[in-house]
Amino acid sequence: MSANTRVTVWNEYRHERKDAEVAKVYPEGIHRALQSGLAAFGFDVATATLDEPEHGLTEIALDRTDVLVWWGHMAHEEVDDGIVARVQRRVLEGMGLIVLHSGHYSKIFRKLMGTTCGLKWREADEKERLWIVKPSHPIAAGLPEFIELDKEEMYGEHFDIPDPDELVLVSWFEGGEVFRSGVTYARGQGKIFYFRPGHETYPTYYKEPILKVIANAIRWAASERGAAPFYGNAQPLESISLKT
């Protein structure tokens, strides 16, 4: 399945061009680091960034995308509402969506969740331990009991999201906070996964366990759907011929 799965990694690509500290960690951008890391799992990976025409998310680009990976932080409000509606439509039609780190405040995630998606944070060099709390889930395949990151930004509860369909990972931080750091949703025919780690000043997206979580989530989000629903004016059931 991986070799046929078409992934687009979307990134603002602003921090890397404005902040020397971030540029040292991701000299070609977070999107390029993710593209390289995810290509190693056999995916067909393209990229798109905020300052491209239509933010790189043209109808053609989205039509060739099975799973969209989204990273944003400092320019959420610059994303055009028409492009947000376009992405939402594709998710409802069945495109997978993986939202990373500060993408929780993106227009597309808030639109799909219907809440503020607010949380508390602290920028400090804190240890994060991500516990796998649903080891039977496909996103947890091949992972250890927990993933430890020596340095990350803290996110803490309360996280203002709808109750997840599935809770896969929970984070603990040195400061004592916990956070629902890996959650899934279904919207229409689309599958959504939010994954917490990935502050721009840390090399989180070069770490194999983190990339494996994202790769597992891509496979899960791209997997086959169930029955295709029909919407609209329906015939009486007795007049429908059911073929076996």
Q: What is the CATH number of domain 2-114+182-224?
A: 3.40.50.880
Residue whose token pair is 């496979």:
219
Measured distance CA(179)–CA(118) in Å, rounded = 12
Task: Give the pLDDT score at 145.
Answer: 97
> Is the Cβ–Cβ distance between 179 and 170 less than 8 Å?
yes
The answer, as to whether pTM is greater than 0.85, is yes
- Tell which phi-psi region holds residue 122, choosing left (phi > 0), alpha (psi between -120 and 50) or beta: beta
In a structure prediction context, what are the per-residue pLDDT tens digits for the chain, which is 244 residues long? 445 899 999 999 999 999 999 999 999 999 999 999 999 999 999 999 999 999 999 999 999 999 999 999 999 999 999 999 999 999 999 999 999 999 999 999 999 999 999 999 999 899 999 999 999 999 999 999 999 999 999 999 999 999 999 999 999 999 999 999 999 999 999 999 999 999 999 999 999 999 999 999 999 999 988 888 888 998 887 655 555 5
DSSP secondary structure, 36-102, as one string: HHHHTTT-EEEEEETTSGGGG--HHHHHT-SEEEEE-SS-GGGS-HHHHHHHHHHHHHT-EEEEEGG
Which residues have a Cβ under 8 Å from the Cβ of 4 and sit 6 or more positions away? 44
Closest CA to 184 of 115, 108, 99, 105: 99
Sign of CA dihedral 46, 49, 51, 55: positive
Task: Give the pLDDT score at 98.
Answer: 98
Q: Which two tokens stand for residue 2?
A: 């991986």
Quick check: bond before 158 cis, omega within 30? yes
